Chains A and B, each alone.
Chain A
Amino acid sequence: MAKRKSLIKIKPKKYTTGDIVKVSFMVMHPMDTGTGKDKKTGKIIPAHYINEVKFLFNDKPFTTMKTWESLSANPVFTINFKVPGPGKLKVIFTDNQGEVNETSKKIKPKG
């Protein structure tokens, strides 16, 4: 199973406990709709898209998403998050072909 390139970004970079930050999760994924054709072979590319994204903080889920093929390729999901303290932010994502990947980032509030 291929490991997908993914990344979590937090804005602003400096934050303290109790701040509301923007969490962006980006992943390299084709998000094929199942209607497009391969330009070289002319064959239809089967649907391949992310259908579930879970955001967890210290293994407790706080946001879950169900998604469909209408999202752009290499999607970016942005949500807000209120920092409760130091810990670990983890994102688990699943696609319709059964690939499960995860990525994580440490939360280190200053001050």
Chain B
Amino acid sequence: MGVGIQVENVNAWYGKSQALHDINLKIEANHATALIGPSGCGKSTFIRCLNRMHETTPDARVEGRVKIGDLDAYNGTSPTQLRRRIGMVFQKPNPFPTMSIYDNVAAGLKLNGYRDRKNLDEIVEGSLKSSALWEEVKDTIHKKSGASLSGGQQQRLCIARALAVAPEVLLMDEPCSALDPISTGKIEELIFELKAQYTIVIVTHNMQQAARVAEYTGFFLLGRLIEYDKTEKIFTNPSDKRTEDYITGRFG
């Protein structure tokens, strides 16, 4: 089951330049939350702070409090512990090229020392079914490399890989920006189904996408969270002038 996320006074830096200023927000469990905003506004940096991926960049730094459910992300939790509870899907599909489809899905468990072969088979099948890829690949999961799939299939493989470790939160960083409209449609349907079990945070440049998949939407600008509300409210009656300007295409 998904858990809620609570973010308090998060600031983030790349070297000396500050990328996030005092972010406060509460993300609802088992809902999809979309983060929108122009390029470089900090939305990607923000979700990378949620699973402590931000600090893997040289010279990057985070301050503030992040709670994933009742787990304090930056206090007494190791990054690896934290990331096992948070799945992440990246902008460009990034399956492990040397691994078969099966091994890609099983990677998170296998690399963390999970060895129960029979259980693993079930988990892989279940994850591929959840990501709506099973029917397309079931005959070749051991023979074909993850890299041999099409772009859209690769992205669904990456989603299956993230789901296989049974996370509570799924972070998606522009998961459809490298995909064609049909693949995008499939991923969006998937997000709709996955909401039942996971808390989803999705960064997107596509405002229609945000409106379609997310119940809540946050608008970022220049490293600040300008407005955060129900998606409907953001797109029909935003309370900040800058949000309105952005969603009506007046800038950004």
Do chains A and B stick together as partners?
no
B contact set with A: CB distance below 8 Å: none
A residues with a Cβ closer than 8 A to B are none
